Amino acid sequence: MSNQHELINYIEIPATDMAKTKVFFETCFGWKFTDYGPEYTAFDKSTGLDGGFYQSDKSSLTSNGSALVVFYSNELEATMAKVQSSGGTVIQEIFSFPGGRRFQFTDPSGNEFGVWSDN
């Protein structure tokens, strides 16, 4: 698929610990990375969207006003267990909202993500 005019194309996320962040996403979600030096690594559309992690002493949290990146899961409880066993920290247990259920977690660099399901 080629780039789409005026659609979101790429996302960049901070990483306080690049190595642990890569291991977490490789283990939990099967992501593959391409390193561009010691302070940047990229992931591709097989994750759902092209993007990368850049070395930073900050993290992305909704409490700081950051956007929330949200994954979809067919099996919400299984995904939550996988997040925890891979080194992520659940910061909001599964809750219901109109249209589905969701939980939120942080990766090893402290970045907040959500996972939702319509099941």
Domains parsed from the chain with CATH numbers? 10-117 (3.10.180.10)
Nearby residues of 76 by Cβ (< 8 Å), 6 or more positions away: 94, 101, 102, 103, 115, 116, 117, 119
- How does pLDDT run across 14-33, given as a tens digit for each residue? 999 999 999 999 999 999 99
Question: pTM of the full predicted structure?
Answer: 0.94
State both tokens at 11: 């996302």
What single-letter DSSP state applies at residue 100? E
Confidence of residue 1 (pLDDT cuts 50, 70, 90): low
Q: Is 18 exposed, middle or buried (0-12, 13-18, 19+ CB in 10 A)?
A: buried
Which whole-number Å values give the CA distances from 93 to 29, 88, 102, in the listed order? 19, 13, 8
Nearby residues of 30 by Cβ (< 8 Å), 6 or more positions away: none
